[in-house]
Structure 1
Amino acid sequence: MGRRSERLTKQGMLASDQTGEGDVIQVVSRAFDILRCFEGHDARLGNLEISKRCGLPRSTVSRLTHTLTRMGQLAYLPGDQKYRIGSSAVAMSTSMTRGLQVRNLIRMRLQEVADQIPGTIGFTIPDRHHMVYLEYARADHALGLHSTTGSRIAMGRTAAGHAYLAALDEDVGNALIKDMSRDMPDEANILRSRIEANRQSLRDHGYVIASGMFSPHITGIGVPIWSPHYQTYVVVVIGVLSAMYDDERMASEIGPIIRQLSETISVMIQNADSGLTAAAVSSAPSAPTIHKKMLPEGMNELEAGTRRPGPARSLRAGDGRR
């Protein structure tokens, strides 16, 4: 029925990945699994370390790292007998991100909000069973919260991952959890136990809250946004110290902030995907303004204001999206 490209799911994965058709070329998939092991340009790994991370036989890893090295995707370090990301991989990633002005705009919005609340704010995208920070902002006084752009974290351990799974069509989300259970059973069990509650929270409030999963001291809140460009959900997430924000305060203060911020970023993404990046600043709603003196107690300006924005334009009917 139609071309192979039409069998791609709306979440950006091959349909065979979710349905078990088995038509994925395994050697290509495994090569990318190896590249994913290198978190950061300076990461250095040997074949044994890669084998343990990927769950692949060391002989298979050895053949693939040899090939990837000849392609320039990896570089071999004789003195260490280890590999690091190669020049071709760096060049390819640089060329792919060139011209993405909207990322700079998003980073500015994130930092504007991060400067006013004691936490971190991330703009994330899914990568198999992980979420990756495309952009990241942090308040100077955000104690105990540490990540960077490019950081990867398991979906089951972050509000971003929980929000992403909750936004997927039910059958696709369940299939992803089932697939995850083979490699990351603990994370899959966490998601499975919370998926229905997360879906309900997304329907009722427009966001998903996850507490004590990334760290026992951190509570996160995430909002998924559909990106036509990437054909998947990206997620805006805010992390704060649990000791400072209980459930009531998360709902009354951080909830309105992330809804408005997500609405802003959603407009920017839609403009960029339509080729209107230059207009993103003027047409996007302003980032929320928060009076610091009001944050420790009582309502913030967003609650006292005239308009409480609804969920970002991300929960859409049809075309495989919630």
Structure 2
Amino acid sequence: MNEPDDTASDLLFNQSLEKGLAVLRAFNAQHRTMTLGDVASATGISKSSAQRMVHTLETLGYICKHPKTRRYQLTPKVMEVGYNYLAADILVDVANPFLSELANITGETVNLTEPYDGEMVYVARFVASKFIPIHMPIGSRIPMYCTASGRAYLSALEPEEAQAILESSERTVHTPHTRTDVEDIMQLLAASRERGFASNREELFLGDMSIASPVFNSERKPVASVHVVAPTSRWSVEEAEKKLGPLVLECARAISNSVRTLV
């Protein structure tokens, strides 16, 4: 388990809580079920420590053991934490009517994502009846550098801050269209800043294209992005930018204005 450098001298920092959260985060699509040894290996903690964490989480109802395989897995109770975040997130409540309207106008799937640690997290989603190539449920995370929502958010930051985030990102090539060069992406951000929205064509998933615009808080700081999914089977880049770009920008501005009135 990798610990921040400053935690060793922080007397208020609770390492047991950190280990418990690390155990919960260790379960994912690649590790749906794990043995005690698997948990210890995935978190980098000792087997005895892993045993205490697993036992505590099992007692609290966040983890259960399969009666036959004796392997551990998460329970639905874990979702309480994520749901509580969404329930307490004022931005989601404010944005939902505008996102719904945008979905009705465009006939395409509309999403709201929020930034976290170099990625954008899905917090709201209105799914169209039309085919979309990729399903991204609430809570899914996508990288900033190669997505429209991430670039929309980055374009609203000071260029120095955006560049620092890009340079610290692990810029993986996902498709033949993925752009990873920092200077190249910075030029895209400048163009997005100029027109108010960003676009992405098949850089994360083949067949997937999106148009996004940033949402600002009362201090004019970017806090989220709105994006419309425009599959390449139905849209060209030029058509999506011309028709969807202004609509996404208008939606993001409406959300931003509504957020400011609440503060």
Shorter-chain TM range is 0.7 to 0.9
Among 128, 132, 152, the residue aligned to 1:139? 128
User: What is residue 163 of structure 2 aligned with on the other side?
Assistant: 174
Among 167, 171, 186, the residue aligned to 1:196? 186
Among 119, 139, 142, the residue aligned to 2:108? 119
Counterpart amino acid of 1:125?
E
Structure 1 residue runs of 5 or longer lacking an equivalent are 1-20, 275-322
Instruction: Flag the 1:210–1:94 CA change in 2: closer, same or farther, 3 A.
Output: closer
Distance apart, 1:191 and its partner CA:
6.2
Any residues of structure 2 matched to 1:1-322 within 5 Å, and which?
A: 22-23=5-6, 35-36=24-25, 38=27, 44-46=32-34, 57=44, 59=45, 63=49, 66-67=52-53, 70=56, 72=60, 74-79=62-67, 80=69, 81-84=71-74, 87=77, 89-98=78-87, 100=89, 103-181=92-170, 185-186=172-173, 190=180, 192=182, 194-227=184-217, 233-272=223-262, 274=263
CA RMSD for the aligned pairs? Answer: 3.7
Segment of structure 1 superposing worse, 216-225 or 61-70: 61-70
Structure 2 residue runs of 5 or longer lacking an equivalent are none
Instruction: Flag the 1:224–1:82 CA change in 2: closer, same or farther, 3 A.
Output: same
The TM-score with structure 2 as length reference comes to 0.73
Contact 1:119 1:142 in 2 (8 A): no
Q: Distance in 2 between matches of 1:111 and 1:147?
A: 17
1:118-164 deviation line (CA, Å, top 9, x unaligned)? 42211001221321111001211133242222222233442112222
Q: Distance in 2 between matches of 1:242 and 1:66?
A: 50
1:206-243 deviation line (CA, Å, top 9, x unaligned)? 111111023221211111223359x7521111111123
Distance apart, 1:258 and its partner CA:
0.5
Contact 1:125 1:134 in 2 (8 A): yes
The TM-score with structure 1 as length reference comes to 0.61
Contact 2:153 2:225 in 1 (8 A): yes
Instruction: Flag the 1:74–1:199 CA change in 2: closer, same or farther, 3 A.
Output: same
Instruction: Flag the 1:61–1:254 CA change in 2: closer, same or farther, 3 A.
Output: farther
Instruction: Flag the 1:63–1:206 CA change in 2: closer, same or farther, 3 A.
Output: farther
How many residue pairs were aligned?
A: 244
Contact 2:20 2:53 in 1 (8 A): no
Runs of 4+ in 1 over 3 A off after TM superposition: 24-40, 47-52, 59-66, 71-74, 89-102, 184-189
Segment of structure 1 superposing worse, 194-203 or 23-32: 23-32
Q: Distance in 2 between matches of 1:61 and 1:233?
A: 40
Contact 1:102 1:268 in 2 (8 A): no
Q: Distance in 1 between matches of 2:7 and 2:137?
A: 32
User: What is residue 304 of structure 1 aligned with on the other side?
Assistant: none
Instruction: Flag the 1:62–1:180 CA change in 2: closer, same or farther, 3 A.
Output: farther
Contact 1:162 1:191 in 2 (8 A): no
Contact 2:179 2:203 in 1 (8 A): no
Aligned residues: percent identity? 17
Distance apart, 1:70 and its partner CA:
1.9
Q: Distance in 2 between matches of 1:76 and 1:126?
A: 31
